[in-house]
Homo-oligomer: A and B are copies of this chain.
């Protein structure tokens, strides 16, 4: 039991019925080729690859982990072959420009097929995942020569990329970083320093690795305003685009960690390594946000991935495993055990997982549409609107999808009882792998501060209003809908409160800005629950309309309504708890110290 199965039907439901991706792709030049047939064919091909190539390597990757031999990282058995097949299939090139060897399809499509790779084997998927971020940074901020040198090999997947930010004394607080970049006579720089926690920092999947590195010039201003961004390739490219001499950047050691064992988490030592400045000096941090926003959405996907795995495996297991009786017949000695899923509390756990998995997928795909619009639309207002939505929703996706993804992974394991704690079924690996997601690429608190402080309060609520307006319109349009009318009523009130609560914190913050810090986590969770209330109301609306039109797939659509109902009755009350905690203010978080 329990082989990974790509959730194509649920994905298609969101793409076609909820978000009408067909119309979306038809609305910009690059989307023209992404017809419904092409999209489906690609998804099916990706599903096959995820199911047959990546998923079987997931437990092996966990078991073997990576090893460091003579300053070179060896990945688990099968990872290298899978990667070769991956680039042969052209997956890395999918959404890049034809002039760099790309297939010129929309960015969102790349992310959608990537959902399946992520679910099948997250640790493996981080190798190409990091590349994709490095690529985006170079496309946006590299000069022509740099693009010509690096993009073709990165787009094809022949080379991969990394992102080198963290140092041992600075994680969230990049202003403290110390890695030095010394200007050299022939225009390049020499990078000196040590970076930690570098995912995919070294490995044997690709012939070259392009590190994107944050470092300080000798005369750089203090803090975050003195950080520059550099390209530091593992091998210096020759003029013909082949790999040349080995650069002085080495993996010093591998971290021993809780999960994602298949991915190499490296200490990277830069020992006078040759580096090339990206863009202008001292503007590295702002460039890095390109990478970081990408990475945050990538990590949000991790939350979805572990949640989907929890759902698939727990749903299968609980329909098969017999244990315990119906409480109505328990005293009858001849009563027979029933399958776990029939126990109300087991089903409560399963429905929680399902509500998060499918709700988060819908939200994620919605944000991907906004990303397409920002990248490919011509109309300035549309771009600005979508940009605002992404600004708001990216930290919510990162924090909320990983927090609830971790909850799902834990509930999925709980459904297995003692069998969940042993490695056999993969449920404990799923929890261990998921556990990092609320930490890296900015912890839940960092995301929460970004959301409430930078995105909402610093824009006087404008960014939030872009979104609450959309929910408001949804509520207005469907307030009379037969099935969802009660939910729309609740959603309308929550949507209004959302802005008001932000305002209340903003007023408190005039006296002490730390009020924002004290409220941020609860506010972020509330925001996530409201987002999912919106998508669940909409999914239930669509499902009920299909059923009243006589659609024959009654189980599929009725399950959507069941889950929406569960979400509103049993998950949404969490908002009240967060709201009370949030409103209690900064003064309730005090601990006297000597």
Taking Cβ atoms with an 8 Å cutoff, the residues of A that contact B are 166, 170-173, 175-176, 196-197, 221-223, 225, 255-259, 265, 319, 322-328, 330, 333-334, 337, 341, 343-348, 350-351, 354, 410, 413-414, 417-424, 428, 431-432, 435-436, 438-440, 443-445, 448-449, 453, 512-514, 516-518, 520-521, 554-555, 558-559, 562-563, 565-566, 569-570, 573-574, 576-577, 580-581, 584, 586, 588-594
Contact = CB atoms under 8 A, between A and B. Distances in A.
B570 A514 contact: no
A334 B345 CA distance: 54
Closest 4 pairs between A and B when the two form their complex, measured CB to CB: A573-B580, A258-B428, A327-B513, A344-B517
A421 B257 contact: yes
A443 to B, nearest CB: 6
Given A418-B166, A517-B327, A577 B573 contact: yes
Contact of A592 (B341, B559, B593): B559
Contact of A589 (B196, B255, B319, B566): B566
Nearest to A559: B592
A394 to B, nearest CB: 19
Contacts of A422: 255-258, 265
A418 B589 contact: no
Contacts of A354: 591
Contacts of A424: 256
A591 B350 contact: yes
Contact of A440 (B255, B418, B593): B418
Contacts of A223: 333
A337 B197 CA distance: 21
Given A221-B333, A439-B414, A432 B258 contact: yes
Contacts of A421: 257-259, 435-436, 439-440
Contacts of A333: 221-223, 225
Nearest to A576: B576
A580 B579 CA distance: 15
Looking at A559, A580, A589, the one whose CB has the most chain B CB atoms below 10 A away is: A589
Given A344-B517, A573-B576, 9 more contacts: A171-B418, A173-B322, A173-B324, A197-B418, A347-B589, A418-B439, A421-B440, A559-B592, A569-B584
Given A172-B417, A422-B256, A513 B328 contact: yes
Contacts of A170: 323
A330 B454 CA distance: 12
A439 B431 CA distance: 15
A335 to B, nearest CB: 8
Nearest to A325: B173
A419 B170 CA distance: 11
A570 B351 CA distance: 27
Nearest to A574: B577
Given A324-B172, A443-B414, A521 B348 contact: yes
Looking at A222, A449, A453, A573, the one whose CB has the most chain B CB atoms below 10 A away is: A573
A449 B330 CA distance: 13
A163 to B, nearest CB: 14
Given A428-B257, A445-B343, A592-B559, A172 B323 contact: yes
A518 B345 contact: yes
